[in-house]
């Protein structure tokens, strides 16, 4: 009996060893046996094809390459120069300058910015400050082609300009809807920072509706932490699908480089300016001739006003549209043509949207009474960039 038990245990040991070797080296033999056919199959997840993976977990990496490939060909470099600007800014008459630097001659002033091709027939949207006072403008595409550009029109009050180039097979960007943007949305800034060549930076929308920054007359900026540097001006701010959401315009910086606070003009504003400049060569806005000021708690208490929101009128142009409509200094404007106004920026935008020559209902608070006045807006006088800069004080005229 003992001998039989020894033979049985040795046979079992050999069988288990053989099974271990087969399952390790030839598992397909075990899976193909009839007694395995009724067992549930084991599913092993494989990485998705064409999706790069990163890290030890093998999870798909977040990539904006598709958005960049879609938008980047329509973003161009804008190279500018001006002999006239150089003559105005020359220091050749300064003897100390000539002593240290010698005779420089009338070398042209040059600059580098960015632009966005918005139509296949050659219209390019950029910043006004990129091309203002420049008499030689050249656009360079990502495929290496270059073309002279003509200024179709400019709007210093939004810092936008439209150029025209004559080239075939031009790529163009897809317009998005900036009104749907939310804080936290991913965005890409595409341009030519510091003239190093086209660069794509990524970030998020940090804030919306930024105004009263003293940059432009009409401000409604998208704020982003995507790196924007000198040379990015006029470039594209696009969403994760590559659609245009804004035109990069300015940065907040103490060093001249990006500090993570950049501002872009919403595409909703840019599209309106683009269409007006192509159609009329200028942007037509309403104007009523008043000097507005934000209504603060101290001002409301001083004038004994039962209001927290509104715009105080500190001055009215004699015989201007507002004066003819019955607006007086000391009035507090609370609404313009069905649009509530709570601060100076909102009043500027509301007045600008009025159609010149047509009456508009303006609601004001005067001496404790609410009054509705009909004012016929005139066309807003065209301002140069220097005038826009001077108008950034709180008493700017509207």
Quick one: pLDDT at residue 54? 52
Classify domain 286-390 at the CATH topology level. Answer: Pdz3 Domain (2.30.42)
Rounded Cα distance, 200 and 178, in Å: 20
The yes-or-no answer to whether 178-271 and 286-390 have a common fold is no
Per-residue model confidence (pLDDT) at position 212: 73
| Distance, CA of 326 to CA of 347 (rounded, Å) | 17
Catalytic residues: 129, 159, 233
**pTM for this structure?**
0.69
pLDDT, position 94: 56
Which tokens hold the place of 132? Answer: 């203002």
DSSP string, 281-324: SS---EE--EEEEE--HHHHHHTT-S-SS-EEEEEE-TTSHHHH
Cα 247 from Cα 220, distance rounded (Å): 12
pLDDT for the residue numbered 117: 95
The string of DSSP codes covering 176-234 is: --GGG--TT-EEEEEE-GGGS--EEEEEEEEEEEE--SSS-SS--EEEE-S---TT-TT
The whole-angstrom separation of Cα 398 and Cα 380 is 8
Q: What is the pLDDT of residue 173?
A: 95
How, if at all, do strands 150-155 and 146-148 pair?
unpaired
Q: Strands 109-117 and 75-82, how do they pair?
A: antiparallel
Closest CA to 228 of 199, 207, 186, 270: 199
What are the backbone dihedrals phi and psi of residue 122, each rounded to the nearest 5 degrees, phi first? 105, 10
Helix (H, G, I), strand (E, B) or coil at 121: coil
End-to-end CA gap in the chain? 115
Listed as ranges, residues in the chain with pLDDT below 70 are: 1-2, 5, 19-61, 84-109, 255, 258, 383-398
| Arch. (CATH architecture) of 178-271 | Beta Barrel (2.40)
Q: pLDDT of 64-99, one tens digit each?
A: 899 999 999 999 999 998 876 544 444 555 554 454
Q: Provide the pLDDT for residue 115.
A: 94
Q: Where are the domains of the chain?
A: 178-271, 286-390
Q: What is the pLDDT of residue 42?
A: 39
Buried b (16+ CB within 10 A) or exposed e, 341-364: bebbbbbbbbbbebeeeeebebbb
- Give pLDDT, residue 21: 63
Which of 210, 212, 358, 227 is closest to 292 using CA atoms? 212
Instruction: Judge whether 213 and 196 are in contact, CB under 8 Å.
Output: no
Q: Which residue has the tokens 């993570």?
A: 260
Neighbours of 135 (CB within 10 A): 13
Are residues 133 and 88 in contact, defined by beta-carbon separation less than 8 angstroms?
Answer: no
What's residue 380's pLDDT?
86
Neighbouring C-beta atoms of residue 380, cutoff 10 Å: 21
In this structure, what token pair is assigned to residue 273? 């300016």
3-state DSSP helix/strand/coil % of the chain, to nearest 5: 25, 30, 45
338-357 residue pLDDT tens? 888 888 888 888 898 898 99
| Both tokens assigned to 146 | 């270059």
Q: Which residue from 152, 82, 162, 178 is spatially nearest to 126, judged by alpha carbons?
A: 162
Q: CA-to-CA distance for 63 and 81, rounded, in angstroms?
A: 37
């Amino acid at each position: 009996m003992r001998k039989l038990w020894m033979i049985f245990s040795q046979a079992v040991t050999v069988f288990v060893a053989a099974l271990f070797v087969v399952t390790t080296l030839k598992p397909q033999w075990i899976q193909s046996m009839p007694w395995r056919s009724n067992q549930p199959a084991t599913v092993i997840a494989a990485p998705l094809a064409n999706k790069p993976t990163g890290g030890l977990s093998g999870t798909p990496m977040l990539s904006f390459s598709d958005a960049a490939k879609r938008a980047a060909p329509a973003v161009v470099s804008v190279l500018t120069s001006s002999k006239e600007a150089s003559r105005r800014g020359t220091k050749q008459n300064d003897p100390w300058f000539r002593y240290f630097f010698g005779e420089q001659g009338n070398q042209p002033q040059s600059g580098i910015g960015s632009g966005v091709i918005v139509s296949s027939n050659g219209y390019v949207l950029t910043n006004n400050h990129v091309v203002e006072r420049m008499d030689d403008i050249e656009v360079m595409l990502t495929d290496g082609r270059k073309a002279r550009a003509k200024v179709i029109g400019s709007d210093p009050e939004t810092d936008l300009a439209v150029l025209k180039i004559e080239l075939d097979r031009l790529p163009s960007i897809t317009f998005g809807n900036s009104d749907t943007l939310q804080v936290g949305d991913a965005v890409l800034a595409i341009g030519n920072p510091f003239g190093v060549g086209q660069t794509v930076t990524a970030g998020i929308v940090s804030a919306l509706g930024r105004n009263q920054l003293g940059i432009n007359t009409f401000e409604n900026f998208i704020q982003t932490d995507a790196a924007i540097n000198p040379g990015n001006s006029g470039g594209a701010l696009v969403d994760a699908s590559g659609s245009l959401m804004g035109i990069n315009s300015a940065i907040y910086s103490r060093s001249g480089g990006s500090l993570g606070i950049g501002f872009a003009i919403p595409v909703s504003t840019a599209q309106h300016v683009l269409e007006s400049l192509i159609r009329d060569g200028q942007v037509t806005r309403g104007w009523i001739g008043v000097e507005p000021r934000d209504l603060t708690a101290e001002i409301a208490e001083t004038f004994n006003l039962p209001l927290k929101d509104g715009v105080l009128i500190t001055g009215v142009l004699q015989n201007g549209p507002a004066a003819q409509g019955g607006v007086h200094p000391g009035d507090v404007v609370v609404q313009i043509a069905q649009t509530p106004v709570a601060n100076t920026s909102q009043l500027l935008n509301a007045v600008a949207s009025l159609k010149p020559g047509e009456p508009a209902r303006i609601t004001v608070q005067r001496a404790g009474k609410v009054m509705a006045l009909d004012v016929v807006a005139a066309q807003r006088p065209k301002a140069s960039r220097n005038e826009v800069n001077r108008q950034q004080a709180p008493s700017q005229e509207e």
